[in-house]
Amino acid sequence: MAFNLFKKKEQKKKKSATREWVDAITFAVIAATLIRWAFMEAFTIPTSSMENSLLVGDFLFVSKINYGPRTPKTPLQLPLTHQKLWGTQNTPSYLDWIQLPQYRLPGFGFVERNDVVVFNYPKEDHPADLKTHYIKRCVAVPGDILEVKNNQVYVNGQEGENPDLMQFSYSIFTKQSIRDRIFDDVGVSEYGRNNVGYGAYMSPKKAEKFRNFDFVEKVVRNELPPGYIEPNVFPQSNGVTWNRDYYGPLKIPGEGISFLLDSANVAKYASTIIDYEGFEKGEIKQEGNVLKLNGEVMKEYTFKNNYYFMMGDNRHNSLDSRYWGFVPANHVVGEASFIWMSLDYDKSFLGFLPRPRWGRFFSGIN
């Protein structure tokens, strides 16, 4: 009787072309999702709040590992989406039926003053990890005392570091028209006619260039006076006489920092405590100048979380912490690392494409 001692190896069934494509796409989506979550994510600059440090049309990479990636809060979400389905305006890409506790994994460091930070805009109703992305500069960290006087940021009584390309609103007094080419040559992209000549957002150095033109009478920075109440400034409370140019002093709350809840501090911190300190809805309420926890008046409060104060480098054209308050630490997404591409949508290339700003390709962010 003969025995076949060597069993013939079964031939592996070859995958169909469709199956190979599905496997490849699945792997690519999983890999991209993991990279996007844990290491690096691409963003684009949609508004001018960071001009001229960052320009509308800049495409940049944001590092998640600098501060540590956050664990997902909203697991029922289509991969590689944010808030809405691609190509739609109002169709959510997620279900909020499950909301997980959120943690931050270890990173290389912490948010520091002058970092350019991407974060989720705190005042939206979406889950924290799916709120709209904002990008601003951190000007104060937990424990700092922030004040703005005559457009200058002060931190703990000392002048804060001013970004090299920081800009403000100016009025250009002139009796004649200024050609667009002049603004372009100086490097000013936000400008328009007004009742004195022109209004423009630009840096002090560029304002000085306009002062040197023979056809310009004078250039004046548009400033709000001390004591002028800007109605939509944070906190929106009686007795707070702050505006974009004269703001504070305001102490930035942080983990372990305690405040007496007198009327002044209730005005400054009540909304932050109610919205971001983890209380159940209705558990804590503000009634006039007092804060109540389960009906009992709170005399003092110690913060559980860290917060940051963010401002745009375009100081007179930025919706930032001066208007909606502190950024909670769990809303911080990552640190802006470098610009990998930049397109000027106001100028054409080859007749129909936005013009590349070649000098900004693969440039750093200061």
Nearest-angstrom CA–CA distance, 316 and 170: 9
Instruction: State the CATH class of domain 18-137+308-366.
Output: mainly beta
Instruction: Categorize the per-residue pLDDT at 206 as very low, low, confident or very high, splitting at 50, 70 and 90.
Output: very high
pLDDT at position 33:
65
Position 360, amino acid: R
Q: How far apart are the two ends of the chain, measured CA to CA in Å?
A: 84
Whether the predicted pLDDT of 7 surpasses 70:
no
Q: Which CATH number fits domain 168-221: 3.40.50, 3.30.70, 3.30.420, 1.10.3470?
A: 3.30.70
Nearest-angstrom CA–CA distance, 54 and 316: 15
Whether the predicted pLDDT of 172 surpasses 90:
yes
Mean per-residue pLDDT, 52-70: 92
Among 38-47, 94-103, 198-207, 313-322, name the one with the lowest average pLDDT. Answer: 38-47
Nearest-angstrom CA–CA distance, 137 and 312: 6
Label the pairing between strands 116-120 and 133-140. antiparallel
Statement: the pTM of the whole predicted model exceeds 0.85: yes
Inter-CA distances, 101 with 72, 74, 75, 87, 305, Å: 8, 9, 11, 30, 14
Q: Where are the domains of the chain?
A: 18-137+308-366, 168-221, 258-302
Each as own residue / partner, the long-range contacts of residues 359-362 (CB below 8 Å, 24 or more positions apart, any chain) are: 360/55, 360/58, 362/338
pLDDT at position 202:
96
Nearest-angstrom CA–CA distance, 312 and 190: 15
pLDDT at position 81:
84
Average pLDDT, the chain: 90
Q: Tell me how many degrees the CA angle 354-359-363 measures, rounded to the nearest 5.
A: 110
Position 189, amino acid: S
pLDDT at position 150:
92
Per-residue pLDDT reduced to its tens digit, 184-194? 999 999 999 99
Instruction: Categorize the per-residue pLDDT at 2 as very low, low, confident or very high, splitting at 50, 70 and 90.
Output: low
Q: Tell me how many degrees the CA angle 333-337-338 measures, rounded to the nearest 5.
A: 135
Q: Which residue has the higher pLDDT, 353 or 304?
A: 304
Alpha helices in the chain (DSSP H): 17-38, 180-186, 204-211, 263-276, 321-324
Nearest-angstrom CA–CA distance, 270 and 289: 9
Q: Which residues pair with 356 in a beta bridge?
A: 343
Whether the predicted pLDDT of 9 surpasses 80:
no
User: How many C-beta atoms surround the C-beta of residue 142 within 10 A?
Assistant: 21
Per-residue pLDDT reduced to its tens digit, 246-288? 999 999 999 999 999 999 999 999 999 999 999 988 899 999 8
